[in-house]
Amino acid sequence: MSGEVVMARGLTRVYQEEAVPVHALRGVDFSLSSSEFVSLSGPSGSGKSTLLNIVGGLDRQDEGIIELDGEELAPLSEGDLAALRLRKIGFVFQAYNLVPVLSALENVEFILQLQGVGSAERKERAGEALKSLGLSELQDRRPGEMSGGQQQRVAIARAIVTNPVLLLADEPSANLDSETTKELMELLRNLNETQGMTIITATHDPMVMGYAKRQVHLRDGTVERDEVVTD
Ligand X SMILES: Nc1ncnc2c1ncn2[C@@H]1O[C@H](COP(=O)(O)OP(=O)(O)OP(=O)(O)O)[C@@H](O)[C@H]1O
Site for Mg ion in 22-81 (CB under 5 A): 48-49
Q: Toward ligand X, which CB reaches closer, 19 or 120?
A: 19
Site residues for ligand X per CB under 6 A? 15, 17, 22, 24, 42, 44-50, 204
In angstroms, what is the minimal distance from the CB of 220 to other proteins? 20
Q: Which is nearer to ligand X, 69 or 171 (by Cβ)?
A: 171
Q: Shortest Cβ distance from residue 113 to other proteins (Å)?
A: 5
- Other Cβ atoms less than 10 A from the Cβ of 114: the count is 12
Q: Give the Å distances, CA to CA, from 9 to 42, 53, 61, 142, 192.
A: 20, 15, 11, 42, 25
Distance CA 126, CA 136 (A): 10
| 59 contact choice in other proteins, ligand X, Mg ion, none (CB below 5 to 8 Å, kind-dependent) | other proteins
**Pairing between strand 199-202 and 166-170?**
parallel
What is the closest distance, in whole angstroms, from the C-beta atom of residue 114 to other proteins in the complex? 6
For residues 45 and 214, give the distance between their C-alpha atoms in angstroms, rounded to a whole number: 21
Query: Nearest distance from residue 224's CB to ligand X, in Å?
Result: 12
SS3 13: strand
Q: Which does 172 bind (CB under 5 to 8 A by kind): ligand X, other proteins, Mg ion, none?
A: none
Q: Which of 142, 204 has the CB closer to ligand X?
A: 204
Selection from 110, 111, 102, 163 nearest residue 132 by Cα = 163
Q: Which is nearer to other proteins, 82 or 229 (CB)?
A: 82
